[in-house]
Structure 1
Amino acid sequence: MKMKSSLLALAALGLSLVAVQAQAHKPWLLPSSTVVEGKEPWVTVDAAISEGLFDIDHQPLKLDGIVITAPDGSTAAMENIGNGKLRNTFDVKLAKPGTYRIALVSQGVMGSYKDKAGELKRFRGTEATLAQDVPAGATEVKLTRSHSRLETYVSAGAPDMAVFKPSGSGLELVPVTHPNDLRSGEKATWRFLLDGKPAANQGVSLIPGGVRYRGTLGEIRKTTDANGEVSFELPAAGMYLLSTSWPAVAAPAPGQPPAMPARRASFAATLEILPQ
């Protein structure tokens, strides 16, 4: 039952990330630092879902399914895990020099059907639970499959690009500018792929944390070119959420619920912009 609950939670996260920049509550991973020096570097990561970006004001983000990829491709462990009422935390020992990717990747299925009595039923689960979620004899079955990726990156010493090899599944970031090498006032370029191909004409959002102190969202929106690339003039130093989702959400017809696409994908990553 615990495993099933974890899978359902991941499926729910995948669906919530589809339009992360438009949601009232946003999931995020926030490292204590993105570039760490020293002989035995560590970082602490906060994981939560909040109304204010990077504010601890709602509920913790479940850590089930988080994978930490080390620069050599091996998997690093979460250590000193703490489960709180409003956030979860864990430490990562950066035992090897280079860039680490901390990622929560999930896939889910949601939809609706009519049972034998003609009553509309809705469900949310995974591919593994689909046969149980939709019983035999169901009619008017409508499904939406989701693929979400929530990430952040930390580097021990000089950043490198080894962890950014694309998997070819869902929305992925392939940096032109390394996400641990960002300076206020400089230009950064990132490439997005959808199932391994350039994600052209893709809306991308960059939102700074600290909205509770500004009173405005401060979102910057750009659109990728034919190669899936997008460039930003980097704003003031701070922690930011970079996000994008596919396909674009169409406005529903008057009096009708929003149309559910057959497939949705999303990507969100916490980045740190350092002072010039």
Structure 2
Amino acid sequence: MKKSIARTFALGVAVATLALPMSAQAHRAWLAPTATVLSGTDAWVGFDAGMSNGVFIPDHAAMRLDGLTITAPDGSTVEAENRNQARYRSSFDLHLTQQGTYRVANVMSGVMVSYKQAGEQKRWRGAEADMAANIPADATDVSATRSNSRIETFVTLGEPSTTALAPTGQGIELVPVTHPNDLVAGEAATFKLVRDGQPAANLDVTIARGGTRYRDNPEEMTVKTGADGAFTVTWPEPGMYWVNASVRTPAEGTQLASSAQYNGAVEVLP
């Protein structure tokens, strides 16, 4: 890292305001499947991905799928098919050929840096490894935030499995205690949130049911994770639910400020 940048961080520079990749503070990011539990020897599932005021309603912007990663039941990575980006939503298909649970996630990470050069305000966004080479030596008022955004859902062919659900250790992740494709209305389900592999304690988790276009009640609830990152929710109605949590950590010494967000979609059956 260039000396001027390191010196600025050491002085405790102000944290830059950063909208996480693929999300916006005023809009909700979501990745929703056409079905989550299927049977047979193979099956196809379609997916829509977007950002909107109401979850699962494609009315604001399509989601870029640069970080799309699909983990098969055996832990291997498989490719999406028939990708398309329209005005308000992106879409793709997944051919399920293995028995068990698939994890479908769009994951983005990087660094946003703001600084001044000769009195002019400038910004740069990219990989953290490239940051030092892209910030001028004469930059002043440097502030940077490391970000990670995970937007995901789960689908199962046949019996549920857990191999694909293992955490990667990057950003906020959902670790199931209750399997995410075994959710029933009126029953309690428990999950854990981890951040960079460690329990994400005391986080607010927002849970919202889709279908708000057809009702006046938004049907949102907020629960808080415990010391072990766990939270429990009893699903009031069947439907597709959006699960969200986020956390920001201020800069400290030479450590960058950081921002992480999780957006999940799970289906609750009758």
Structure 1 length as normaliser, TM-score?
0.84
Residue 20 of structure 2 corresponds to residue 14 of structure 1: yes
1:5 is aligned to none
Q: Does structure 2 conserve the Cα–Cα contact (< 8 Å) formed by 1:125 and 1:133?
A: no
Q: Does structure 1 conserve the Cα–Cα contact (< 8 Å) formed by 2:149 and 2:262?
A: yes
- Quote the offset at 1:96 in angstroms: 0.3
Which of 19, 30, 33 is the matching residue for 2:32? 30
- Quote the offset at 1:16 in angstroms: 5.6
Residue 235 of structure 2 corresponds to residue 240 of structure 1: no
Q: Which amino acid aligns with 2:20?
A: G
Give the Cα separation in 1 of the matches to 2:56 and 2:220: 14
Change in Cα spacing, 1:248 to 1:54, as seen in structure 2 (3 Å) is farther
1:209 is aligned to 210
Which of 102, 111, 114 is the matching residue for 1:112? 114
Structure 2 length as normaliser, TM-score?
0.86
Change in Cα spacing, 1:248 to 1:126, as seen in structure 2 (3 Å) is closer
Name the count of aligned residue pairs.
248
2:12 is aligned to none
1:99 is aligned to 101
Local SS of the residue matching 1:53: coil
Give the Cα separation in 1 of the matches to 2:168 and 2:148: 13
Give the Cα separation in 2 of the matches to 1:15 and 1:145: 11
- Quote the offset at 1:248 in angstroms: 8.1
Q: Which amino acid aligns with 1:71?
A: P
1:54 is aligned to 56
1:266 is aligned to 261
Give the Cα separation in 1 of the matches to 2:113 and 2:243: 28
2:146 is aligned to 145
- Quote the offset at 1:146 in angstroms: 0.5
Give the Cα separation in 2 of the matches to 1:47 and 1:120: 33
1:168 is aligned to 169
Give the Cα separation in 1 of the matches to 2:64 and 2:178: 30
- Quote the offset at 1:139 in angstroms: 1.2
- Quote the offset at 1:58 in angstroms: 1.8
Q: Which amino acid aligns with 1:62?
A: R
Q: Which amino acid aligns with 1:156?
A: L
Give the Cα separation in 2 of the matches to 1:76 and 1:132: 34
Q: Trace 1:116-195 onto structure 2 (pairs within 5 A).
A: 117-131=118-132, 133-195=134-196
Which range moves more in the overlay, 240-249 or 183-192? 240-249
Can you give the 5+ residue segments of structure 2 that lack an aligned partner in the other structure? 1-17, 251-255
Give the Cα separation in 2 of the matches to 1:46 and 1:39: 24
- Quote the offset at 1:15 in angstroms: 4.2
Q: Deviations over 1:198-225 (max 9, x none)?
A: 1111111111112222234321100111
Q: Which amino acid aligns with 2:144?
A: L
Local SS of the residue matching 1:247: strand
Change in Cα spacing, 1:149 to 1:262, as seen in structure 2 (3 Å) is same
Identity %: 47
Q: Which amino acid aligns with 1:245?
A: S
Give the Cα separation in 1 of the matches to 2:219 and 2:26: 15
Local SS of the residue matching 2:20: helix
Give the Cα separation in 2 of the matches to 1:68 and 1:207: 24
Give the Cα separation in 2 of the matches to 1:78 and 1:97: 17
Q: Does structure 2 conserve the Cα–Cα contact (< 8 Å) formed by 1:104 and 1:151?
A: yes
